[in-house]
DNA sequence: AATATTTTGCAACAAAGTTGCATTGTTGTA
DNA sequence: TACAACAATGCAACTTTGTTGCAAAATATT
């Protein structure tokens, strides 16, 4: 597990630091997407807030994590699959945010459908975000 | 135009105030979606920041405007069509955010495709947000 | 092990968002 | 039109979130 994490950092040519290992392992352990605030709560005793901002930014740039847009001004981040690289994300799956528990899921098995845009518009990224009730909160 | 605006407010049983008329007319004039910050810039001399927060919240609750999720922690708001009402939005069109000029469009002519979710997940709202280059910024 | 490079923490700051309460504005009724 | 009831606004004070520069610490390279 620690090996896996250092391997990811090495692969993306990032120096291996405590903060990066810890934040990466948080994503790995929870399995779901995390907001900046979530990470801060789970590691505020270990690291400064600023380090978290900078680490998340680095991870996005390197293609280690991707962003998930939200309507509550709290972007979520989730681990990318192997195909993602610096400057080129390939996370074309659907995202789900539970209104009950707030958990944000990468629904890897459902891919984002292609849509045809009006003349003059060209797409670089498409995000499909669904909110509702997740399988754990289903009554 | 002023008539149209007061009619909307009346229809949703909101008292008619300067702030609400001004903010609604901003949406009407620009035609595109606006972030809180945009509205603040265009009306900061007329109204307090707090009033803008409260007005946007009221408009969303009443079904006058809808939110558009983003990955930059700055939710956009846009006018709803007539079918939206308090507690029930029906804005199932695609949204487009231009990476160049930042303009956010409601693409009314393209509707959000239905997707089948894994067992246990039930959707309440689906947002499809595309970013890229808009028809005005196309080289 | 010594040096070069990168990352981190801290401090100071700026921007964004929230809340309570007195004042002002709006609405419906007399 | 005047009045009372109610709702919206402005202001102040505050909290939370995000940014920046720089010295110290950690990591990588030789
Ligand atoms: Mn994802
Ligand atoms: Mn829209
Ligand atoms: Zn849930
Ligand atoms: Zn544009």
Identify the residue whose tokens are 């920041």. B49
Q: A63 with A88: CB under 8 angstroms?
A: yes
Instruction: Please state the pTM of the whole predicted model.
Output: 0.94
Residue A126 has pLDDT above 80, yes or no: yes
Within-domain flag for B106: yes
Within-domain flag for B8: yes
Within-domain flag for B107: yes
How many structural domains are present in chain A?
1
Strands (E), chain A: 34-35, 65-68, 76-79, 93-98, 104-111, 122-133
Query: How many angstroms is it from B114 CA to the middle of ligand 2?
Result: 17
What would the pLDDT profile of B53-106 be if each residue is shown by its tens digit? Answer: 999 999 999 999 999 999 999 999 999 986 666 677 777 999 999 999 999 999
Nucleotides, chain D, CB distance < 7 Å: 7-12, 17-21, 26-28
Within-domain flag for A137: no
Range of the domain at A64: 2-132
Within-domain flag for A45: yes
The number of C-beta contacts closer than 8 angstroms across A and B is 129
- What is the pLDDT averaged over residues B121-125? 96
Closest CA to A126 of A99, A98, A89: A89
Per cent of chain A over pLDDT 70 is 96
Within-domain flag for B89: yes
Within-domain flag for B119: yes
Give the CATH number, domain containing residue A94.
1.10.10.10
């Amino acid at each position: 597990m620690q090996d896996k994490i250092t391997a990811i950092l090495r692969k993306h040519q990032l120096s291996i630091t405590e903060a990066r290992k810890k934040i990466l392992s948080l994503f790995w352990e929870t399995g779901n997407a995390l907001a900046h605030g979530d990470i801060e709560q789970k590691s505020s005793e270990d690291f400064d807030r600023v380090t978290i901002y900078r680490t998340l930014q680095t991870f996005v740039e390197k293609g280690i994590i991707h962003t998930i847009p939200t309507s509550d001004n709290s972007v979520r981040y989730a681990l990318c699959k192997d195909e993602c690289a610096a400057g080129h994300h390939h996370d074309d799956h659907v995202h789900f945010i539970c209104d009950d528990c707030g958990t944000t899921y990468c629904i890897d098995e459902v891919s984002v459908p292609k849509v045809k845009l009006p003349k003059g518009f060209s797409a670089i990224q498409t995000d499909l975000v669904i909110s509702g009730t997740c399988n754990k909160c289903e009554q």
